[in-house]
Amino acid sequence: MRIIDNDDFYVIVKQYDPDNEYHLVGEVEYYLLCDDEPYDGMRSHREALRCVFDWQVERSLEDIENTRIMFGDDSADRSRLLTYDIDMAQPSALDPQAFFYCPNIVKTDYFGSVWYDAEWEPNDENFGTTVPYWYALMEPVHGRRNKPEDFKKVNEALFPNGTDALDIYEWTTDWSDLFDAGHEWYGACCWSIYDKTLSRYVVMLVSATD
């Protein structure tokens, strides 16, 4: 299993986030992966997550070393290395139609706040839990809000052959401290998707707080 470094999808993503190191739209961070081994259901999905989180650990190490160079050993020693235990992650299968549901905008007020015709809405009870995919893409904590047409554009680029041939799993988020920020407030999500038409995996991560 390996992360795909070059793909036309990244060109679309850069319209939303110009940072070359990340592939973000809203609060969703995307990873595209391929595998020389045949697709093997849940085992393959778990290996896709393992590959992404190994990369995250490497990035965490680089961040600590950069802190050491810039601010000294004391600051670096206070930094925490990212940890994860993939064996603790528990999956639930998702229906593509439900996963890619996107509501319509009903109203936008003078201050830019947006109302949707969606049953789900953020409140005190669901803060820090899993948020819908559409919300994570369209309603980031800070910065640009995206519209339903952006949601459609991103997903058409990500899955150019449609969504009928996708295996989608939502994973629990209690197995890595990467999700700690999301548990504080905005939400934490981990999704893995296999596209049978492209023999390609997509891992989507969300973890944000104010």
Please state the pTM of the whole predicted model.
Answer: 0.91
H helices of the chain, where? 8-13, 42-71, 73-78, 96-99, 133-138, 148-158, 180-184
Residue with tokens 């990500």: 158
Tens-place pLDDT, residues 17-27: 877 677 889 99
> Contact, 101 vs 134, CB < 8 A?
yes
Q: Would you say how long the chain is, in residues?
A: 210
Tens-place pLDDT, residues 143-202: 778 999 999 999 999 999 999 999 999 999 999 999 999 999 999 999 999 999 999 999
pLDDT > 90 fraction of the chain, expressed in percent and rounded: 64
CB crowding 152-170: b at 16 or more within 10 Å, else e: ebbbeebbeeebeebbbbb
How big, in percent rounded to 5, are the helix, strand and coil portions of the chain? Answer: 35, 25, 40
Tens-place pLDDT, residues 61-101: 666 566 556 666 555 555 566 889 999 999 999 999 999 99
| Sequence-separated (6 or more) residues with CB below 8 Å from residue 84 | 53, 56, 57, 175, 176, 177, 178
> Contact, 182 vs 207, CB < 8 A?
yes
> Contact, 105 vs 148, CB < 8 A?
yes
**Of 38 and 119, which is predicted with more confidence?**
38
pLDDT recorded at residue 121: 84
